[in-house]
A and B are shown apart, each in its own frame.
Chain A
Amino acid sequence: NAGVTQTPKFQVLKTGQSMTLQCAQDMNHNSMYWYRQDPGMGLRLIYYSASEGTTDKGEVPNGYNVSRLNKREFSLRLESAAPSQTSVYFCASSDSGRNNYGYTFGSGTRLTVV
């Protein structure tokens, strides 16, 4: 099925542990994004990649790193997880940055840091 695939769907981490969230899209989109969604805060941009080989910080990048592995894949890494990073994480992709007519989102990763 065409779309954005995120793994894992659920994860529980202990404070200080590290993990990588995986995202892959098969729509040949140039741009990919990582968001977090918290109650009452809406969707906030963590990092984005306008095209293969480039990454930029979004609104809330602290505590995260990203890698645009190729055109299809964009991963998000938490080096030392903190309880404040408990959230639902969404990956998204879009066709072209300059003419952004909307995103395709994955189904999310629910992360709990204890």
Chain B
Amino acid sequence: TQLLEQSPQFLSIQEGENLTVYCNSSSVFSSLQWYRQEPGEGPVLLVTVVTGGEVKKLKRLTFQFGDARKDSSLHITAAQPGDTGLYLCAGASGGSYIPTFGRGTSLIVHP
């Protein structure tokens, strides 16, 4: 089973700050997804990346897939309290289409 390491584990910031969270593995991914999970709810898909070096933007969120397809980052510009949640990455590799989930980065944005 491939291992996805997410960092940092916890992040507490003030509204308006920028932040980056990371997802790393020793495995090459065929695809990688980012999800946001709010308390009491299921994860919600934010983005899927499939091409090495790919960059996708979703309003203030920028997702990047590493050139070697082993890592990814999520950058949030001018964080808002509504960005609070658990950010999960999930990647499939080794010929399996079933992704493995990282343990997540818990983000709190204070007003």
Interface, chain A (partner B; CB < 8 A):
4, 33, 35, 40-45, 48, 58-59, 90, 92, 97-108
Least CB distance from A110 to B in Å reads 9
**A-B contacts, 24 listed (Cβ < 8 Å):** A4-B42, A33-B98, A35-B101, A42-B88, A42-B103, A43-B90, A43-B101, A90-B42, A90-B43, A100-B31, A100-B99, A101-B48, A101-B50, A102-B33, A102-B35, A102-B45, A103-B33, A103-B43, A104-B45, A105-B42, A105-B43, A106-B42, A107-B40, A108-B42
Given contacts A42-B88, A90-B42, A108-B41, contact A97 B104 (CB under 8 A): no
Which chain A residue lies CB-closest to B4?
Answer: A42
In the complex, A4→B44 CA distance in Å?
A: 12
Which residues of B sit under 8 angstroms from A108, Cβ to Cβ?
40-42
Q: What chain B residues lie within 8 Å of A99 (beta carbons)?
A: 97
Chain B nearest CB from A30 CB (Å) reads 11
Contact A59–B1 (Cβ < 8 Å): yes
Could you mark each residue 97-109 of chain B with 1 if its beta carbon is under 8 Å from any beta carbon of chain A, else 0?
Answer: 1110111100000
B interface secondary structure, majority: loop
The distance from the CB of B51 to the nearest CB of chain A, in whole angstroms, is 13
When the two chains form their complex, are residues B98 and A103 in contact, meaning their CB atoms are under 8 A apart? no
Shortest B21–chain A CB gap in Å is: 15
